[in-house]
Amino acid sequence: MLNKLFNTTLLFSSLICVVLNAQTENLLTSISNEMEHFNEVATTTKQNEHYQPYIISVFEGKELEKLGILNLKEALTLVPGVDMATDNANTQTPIFRGSNPLASGQSKLFIDGILVNNVFFDAYSEYLSFPVEMIKRVEVVRGPGSKVDGINAYAGSINVITYAEDFKGFESNDKIVFKYGSYNYKMGGFIKTYKTDNLKIFIDFYYQKDDKKLPAGPDGLSQGVFGANNISLSKSGDAPLWLKEYSIGLNLTYKDFFLKARTLEHTQGSAYGINLALPQDSDRMKLPSQYLELGYNKKINNFKIDIKAGIKYDAFNSKSKLIPNDLNISGVIFQDGGYGEHFAAQRTIYQSSYLKYSGIAQHTITAGYRFIKEQTIDMSSKLSNRLTGDVALVDYTDTLAFFNKDAKRYTYIFSLQDEFQLSRTVSFIYGFNYEQTSYKDAGFEPKMSMVYQVDAQNIFKAIYSRSHRNSSWQEMFTMNNLARVGTTSLNPEKVDTIEFAYIKKISSDSYLQSNIFYLLNKDQIYNSSADPKYRNVVDTDIYGFEFEYKGYISSADQLYFNYSYTTGKSYIADENKNKSLPNIANHLLKGYYIYNLNTSLSLNGVAKYVGSKDRVSGDTREKVKDYLTIDSSLQYKNQKYNYTLSLSIKNMFDTKVTFPSPPNTYVQDYEQERRSFYIAFKKEF
């Protein structure tokens, strides 16, 4: 009997132990799953950026709104080592660490992971006006960054994450936004999400316009771009830099499938004239951009599959007065001036497949390919009669095309990468891209990086990477043009990058980041008004350092600032000599300060200093002057009704800001916005 009782007790105790152990196991599993979930969110949202093997700065959309930042362009000017440049078409381009200002494609822009650089210029200036209220986060990687997606970033990559991004527990609110300001700026937009268990539909929309005109001139005629006999026809005046655009974005997720689509209809004034003659107010350039991507993501045991296919359309569409009245070209007099309509539409089709395998202890291996086909699908070229000077347009599409209408390029990229976690404190990523194109190949490009986390507060990184930029359509296929002559014999621009970084995590919310970099650029593509043909003519060695701090002075505020120093030399093959880097600000100092007067009201300031810039070889003008701009904003957030009202004043001391004009074009540099005012209203639901 006693034995039976003992056995029963033993069995019961064992059962309790089993149940308790099972409960503990479940709890530990649940904790592990939570940790993995937050790790995934932190990695995707770059919250753990400091532990990743690249140099990155992240700006939250809501923080940017607080600062009165209007759009993506203004956000990018806060990034360490990033300056802005423009050209006669006002194709504005962020310059990363002294990268080639003529090569727009040295940086890449991704919207929700989709590359949106246009094929024509390889630029993304049409997206720089993307309103900040549509942006959840901007992640800017300086240097080539990750190789996994097969896309070469060269000098830097910008990832704009919209509110389509969604994680359990971090859903975004629907909202409407209206803005009004200087230059008769008007903007309206909304964000809307519809969600069921398996389906999520996200839509964003905005419309914006302004009537911006800025003083410019004397224009390029003063420098003899149409011959000495036409110099007297040169004009000064207001350059049409107005904007009119709308965009609709759609993100649809169903189980493991997704669809991402956007149409952007961007129209802007003709700026400084594609032929360097000051255009009329109504002259315009359209840069539409549309994309559609379908994808499938699936995690199966130790495998993660990522398959995408997409189509992208972009175009260059200019309609403007190209030359002034009474211009005389080789005896042909254009009494009423000369007009032109140029149109080139490009289609890109791509498909990529990547497989990530984490079944080997301490290793995560990613392999895959990306195939891209870029093609011009439509082109037309109409000009006033070149033989008679008659103003009526003549179709020169077949006889004197401005562009090769059969332009086409195939690109194949294969990538392999291993992420090796040697220990809890040391990890390596190494791998390569191999790329072939239907023109000059970039070939094999390795990348290696190491992250050493000494402890929770101190992190070191070392990165080596080789990357390239393929020539843009403009550089390869432009023809019959005074300012630009393309050739398909160009080599890709190449860069070897070496970077070291140290990060001090002062607390969960404050850090110091410092890094040094050395960039060896080969075969940089340039042209000039004296020799408009694009050529691989410059090598540059660029080095410098960047320092970044984010933290606070008191519990009521937030302080961010960065300083970057960039220098180096360029070797110009034609002249067989070394020169200092032209058009590069050696010193950049930027920062912002947010003071929370209470939980509803904040007073904020943004300061940016851009140092002076040397001119290009042979340009005898004085250096481009340095400048300091100060912006200020006041934001009120009503917690009860969930609306926000912001007032901002930009360039409050009315500083003259100029971006360099190339020699023998506009005499004066391209002047930018002076003091301006904006008001924004946002309501979340």
Interacting residues toward other proteins by CB under 8 A:
23-24, 27-28, 30-32, 34-36, 38-39, 41-42, 45, 47-48, 51-52, 169-170, 424, 427, 451, 453, 456, 507-509, 552, 555-558, 596-599, 601
Residue 34 vs 531, nearer CB to other proteins: 34
Quote the CA–CA distance of 301 and 306 in Å, as a whole number: 14
CB of 321 to other proteins, least distance (A): 53
Residue 28 vs 377, nearer CB to other proteins: 28
Quote the CA–CA distance of 593 and 607 in Å, as a whole number: 9
Residue 468 vs 550, nearer CB to other proteins: 550
Quote the CA–CA distance of 367 and 133 in Å, as a whole number: 36
Alpha-carbon distance values, 287 to 188, 264, 493 (Å): 20, 8, 25
The total of other beta-carbon atoms located within 10 Å of residue 383's CB is: 19
Quote the CA–CA distance of 318 and 342 in Å, as a whole number: 5
Mark 37-75 as b/e (b = at least 16 C-beta within 10 Å). eeeebeeebbeebbebbbbbbbbebbbbbbbbbbbbbbb
CB of 62 to other proteins, least distance (A): 10
CB of 80 to other proteins, least distance (A): 20
CB of 151 to other proteins, least distance (A): 23
Q: Is the dihedral of CA 110, 116, 121, 122 positive or negative?
A: positive
The total of other beta-carbon atoms located within 10 Å of residue 255's CB is: 11
CB of 248 to other proteins, least distance (A): 29
CB of 253 to other proteins, least distance (A): 21
Q: Which residue has the tokens 């400084």?
A: 272
CB of 63 to other proteins, least distance (A): 10
CB of 408 to other proteins, least distance (A): 43
Residue 39 vs 580, nearer CB to other proteins: 39
Residue 151 vs 503, nearer CB to other proteins: 503
The total of other beta-carbon atoms located within 10 Å of residue 166's CB is: 14
Residue 418 vs 614, nearer CB to other proteins: 418
Residue 169 vs 331, nearer CB to other proteins: 169
CB of 285 to other proteins, least distance (A): 41
Residue 163 vs 477, nearer CB to other proteins: 163
CB contact set of 152 (below 8 Å; sequence gap of 6+): 108, 144, 433, 435, 442, 445, 467, 468, 469, 470
Partner residues linked to 227 by β-bridges: none
Residue 45 vs 251, nearer CB to other proteins: 45
CB of 141 to other proteins, least distance (A): 16
> Is the omega angle on the peptide bond into residue 101 within 30 degrees of 0, that is, cis?
no
Residue 8 vs 457, nearer CB to other proteins: 457
Alpha-carbon distance values, 622 to 276, 565, 566, 625, 655 (Å): 21, 21, 20, 8, 18
Amino acid (1-letter code) at residue 107: S
Residues 123 and 104 sit within 8 Å (Cβ to Cβ): yes
Q: Which residue has the tokens 């419309």?
A: 207
